[in-house]
Structure 1
Amino acid sequence: MEDQQNNSNSSLKIIIGVLALLLVGSLYYIYKISTEAEQVQTVLTTTVSEKESVMKDLQELKATYDAAIAENTSMSEELVKERDKVVKLMNDIDKSKGDVSKYKSEVSKLQNNMKALMAENDVLKKQNKTLTIQRDSTVVVLGEAKKYNEVLVGQNEDLSKTVEKGSKLTVLNMQTAAYKIRSSGKQIATDKAGRADVLKISFTIAENQIAKSGDKEYYVQVIDSKSNVLGDKQTVNFGDKLLTYSFISKVKYENKTVNVTEDLPGKDFAKGTYFVNVFDKSELVSKTSFTLK
């Protein structure tokens, strides 16, 4: 009887031990599953957060480019290309479902490109503003000069009908051409703006026996296709009239025909039609035009 009781106690202890082991194993398994679930949730949360952060950076880049493009500067084409790269990357990230850290270097590169382009764009805007102010000022001066020139031309035409002979000197045969200067010093005629190094301007002062002899000064005005006065760009007053000239041609006149040739050096000449005017003080005495391709 006592032996049976001892056997029952031993079996009970074994059962209890097995159950205890199973309980410990179950608790460990539950703990492991919970820990892994938390890690997965942490990874998912981190991935979503990184994706939102990267997308936010790209949206800010796109907004910056959109604003710069709207200003319609000379860099618009380059800005559009960079903006399109940002949009493409946004689409790629939006479609991705995994780790977006591989895109961070590309985002950083786009951000650096944007900083460089924005800095260059700001410089261009400032330069354009300055050039606009200068152009407006030049247009006003040239506009007044052209109006005045038209009046002078009309007066000269009227005088030519009534005055056959007088003391005024006549400027004839005005010609202008562009030349390229070789290293040897030889000048080669050209009609290409990109090749021109100097403009050669020539005219003839006709013989006039009753004119006053002595040193004469002629104001030569050269206006390019962009309405810019080339050369010295100095302004002189004749009473209430202003004249912006390129250079002064000084001639020693002794009542005989004089051939005058002057050089106007320069670089980066613009393509288009140029206008050349010669003034005797405020009076327009000759004009011509030529074209550089």
Structure 2
Amino acid sequence: MKALNNTSLSKFLKFSPVILLVSLIIYSFKTHENKNQLENEFFKEKKILEKELDKIVADYKEIRTKKKWLTKRVITGMNKIIALKDSVKKMEKVNYDLLFKYSLKVTKLERENRKLFLKAESLDRENKRLRKENNDVKNQLEAGEKSYNSLLAKNKKLTAEERELKRKVSIAGNIKISGIQVQALKERNNGKYTSTSRSRKTDAFKIKFDMLPNQVASMGKKQVYVQLLDKNEEVIPSERSDANKEIAYNDLINVNYDKEKIGVVSLISVDRTQLTKGKYTVNVFIDKRKVGETSISLR
């Protein structure tokens, strides 16, 4: 990892001047008997320790600047080294015991800090790995979400297309009729009917049309409603009329439709005394769907 290959951190982890310093102290006791020489040697060794501490502090500061992941414990350890450096610099009298004590303290702090650095870097490495995994999972979730949204959009499109197709099929399956023929009739004494155009002579209306062939339409029973309206769009009373149904009608015919052309005839008897001259409208419904309309005018 880059952090362990960093020059400053490598020097901090690998360099240990304290062992050399301790050896020099012991050597000094054995070889220097003159007080002045001992003092000179002491301050030399003190200077060596100061320089090494300066290097360590400089490395700490560089690491602290570059490594944003340092924990409070690591920073506290670094501050202890800095404080120790200040204490060494303040030594003005020869005191090998204290110098030796500081040297041991440096060794201990280096060892502790080395462990803290390694642990902190290990945690940083693990955090980076977890962040990468988190980003990978996030990217996968985003990709999954995009895929889901894409599928959802396709499904909506297919559903709309299916509805449209069903609508078209439904329309295509609707049964159509030919033009409606309507005729006003008067009844003779022998019971036969003849055509008339006068309202006061009309006893019945004859309505004719064909249900046209449609291979898409469903087969079976079809309810055909015939509706006869006056100029006020009211259903004219007749012997089979029913104005209270969903579709008010004058005639209801059940037709067995087999997808082929079939003729339909409706004869609606009325009371001529209730008719007036004017326009009369005929509406035809198949299974409650209006399929045709025409009109007839009576004098």
**Does the TM-score normalized on the shorter chain lie above 0.5?**
no
TM-score after normalising by structure 1: 0.41
TM-score after normalising by structure 2: 0.40
Greater strand proportion: 1
Question: Larger Cα Rg: Structure 1 or Structure 2?
Answer: 2
